Chain A
Amino acid sequence: MKLLTHNMLTSKCMKAVTVGYPLAINASDVRVSEVDFNPDFIAKIIPKVDWAVLWNAAESIGQLEGLPKEIVENYENDQDFLKKAHHVLLEVDVINGELICPETGRKFPINNGIPNLLLNEDEV
């Protein structure tokens, strides 16, 4: 699971959960692999990302690699910034671990890079 995906997930569909965001990450296996850099895509995706959530998620699994805490001004043309964002959004992959609902503590396992967000029949 990439941190871009993590940024878009909530557990608000669960009973008794109001916000369910952000999900905490408990990573036991993180893989970093090189992904082709596409500055246009990164620049397009940055305004759609909840930056604080991304920064905290990256920090919680030790993958900040110098990512600024705030989006810099004129980021579209800042190659260095875009590359750092690219690394955190697309190159970091949580292979095994779990996502944790911030309100109920419900754990969603991540196996082989694939999060399992299925609820049990008594939770829906």
Chain B
Amino acid sequence: MNKIARKYLVWFAQEHTEFRSAEIDSLRAMLKTDMKPCDNPDTNAPYWIVESASETDLKRLVNRSVSIRSCFELWAHAKNIDDLHQKLRNYPRHLMEPYFQKDLSFKIQVETFCKHLTQKEKVNKLETFSYLPIKGPVKLTDPDVCLQYIEYYGTNANDPPEFPYFVFFGRWVAGGLRNLMKKLSLKTRKFIGNTSMDPQLSLLMANQAQVRSGDMVLDPFVGSGSLLVAAAEFGGYVIGGDIDYLMLHARTRPSRITQKERSADESIKANMDQYNLQHRYLDVLINDFALSFWRDNVEFDSIITDPPYGIREATERVGTNKENFKVSEEHLSSHIPAKIEYGISNIYKDLLNFSAKHLRLGGRLVCWFPVFREDYKEEGLPGHPCLDLVANCEQVLSKVTSRRLLTFEKIRQPEASELNLECNITDFREKYFIVREETRKERRTREARVRKENWIKSGKNKDNLIK
């Protein structure tokens, strides 16, 4: 049977908007949904109008999305309120009546975007819909049918127009992952580190990696394991590695200002227990990523990681610059290996070669890559002939720096000659430190100059007044 595509309104969260399209693309490909935007969506606006022939498929996509707040079956939309009512009155009865049955409770919600309405104003708006032939009882919490009326006043909250640009009316269909983000909040998580990834970005990374139930997922720079939590939420069996013994045994200094020392039972595993994901926790290993301990034919479904950039977390590998160094017999049992600089370009070189070898065909590598914005060129990104860069989104961190979320998909098995390819990646940190220092110094001298000028000005003004 050919299903007819219906129109839906997808309402996004206005946060991390730069990842929106990439996330929807990843989810559409993973869940094989037919959802497509009706016309080119305005990138500034928080909504898309889309078409889909299967509401079930669409629901699955929305339920899995970090970017989407909610999704409505669009009954009417217009540029002004009168037109909206006109259109809604003309909406085919047989399409709305299934939701207006006697035994179905309902509520109508009034929402305004970028303008505040008082409760009374909202109630007044609500009453303008009294012509709808609803037979069921009103129920404010958890009704069977939720209808939504939205007035969109643009995105400039400081100066909203008198009348909305667009108005929408529809039936609520599904909500995104906003509640899960609250549940996984770092504020309430047992074990966190200084650079734990927040749940929103962690879940987004797991979506970019298209983590499915029963996947085996690796984070080779696992730290406190935030990315594993997100991957396990989506059904991934997770495994991690890190060079930092103290971190994996949760013996580093606590990251919470209120916490004097780590409690004895902190660990990545304890986080999994906290979220009831312990059955999807495989292991974490203390190892040096530069030296692979994995069996040659081990395959992961996805590799999700945030490698150290050498700014807040050191880039280190085991090694020494001393010649002919040998650990003496007596110290062997308690020896802590010395570490040398790993170097950002070597980390990414190893990460891409490793992924080309150990990802299953079609599996994805999702990682952050720090860049110096002024110097950024797509050619400067790490790459590998077996890995196709399918998404590249920027998260701005400061005026001069940002990090990019890179998503690679493995398109073929590497040849023997491609197992240890060099890639030339410029180390952005040299400039990062220099520029930061300059701007800080410049800023201070500038501020001092401005203060002095103001002081002189105000002095003169007073002089003028006296005269």
Contacts and interface: CB of A to CB of B under 8 A. Distances in A.
Given A35-B279, A114-B285, A13 B293 contact: yes
A121 interface: yes
B282 A4 contact: yes
Contact of B213 (A40, A113, A117): A40
B269 A115 contact: no
Interface string A9-21: 1110100000001
B327 A2 contact: no
Most buried by B among A4, A44, A112, A124: A124
B219 to A, nearest CB: 14
12 contacts: A2-B283, A8-B298, A41-B237, A50-B295, A90-B279, A112-B267, A117-B293, A119-B291, A120-B337, A121-B318, A121-B338, A124-B318
Contacts of A119: 288, 291, 318, 337
Interface residues of A, number: 34
B291 A124 contact: yes
Nearest to B335: A120
Contacts of B294: 8-10
B245 interface: yes
Contacts of A38: 214, 279
Nearest to B243: A118
Contacts of B285: 1, 5, 9, 114-115, 117
Interface residues of B, number: 39
Interface in A19-67: 21, 35-36, 38, 40-41, 44-45, 48, 50
Interface string B365-394: 000000000000000000000000000000
Interface of A: 1-2, 4-5, 7-11, 13, 21, 35-36, 38, 40-41, 44-45, 48, 50, 90, 111-122, 124
Contacts of B248: 114
A25 B467 CA distance: 93
B431 interface: no
Contact of B239 (A5, A36, A117): A5
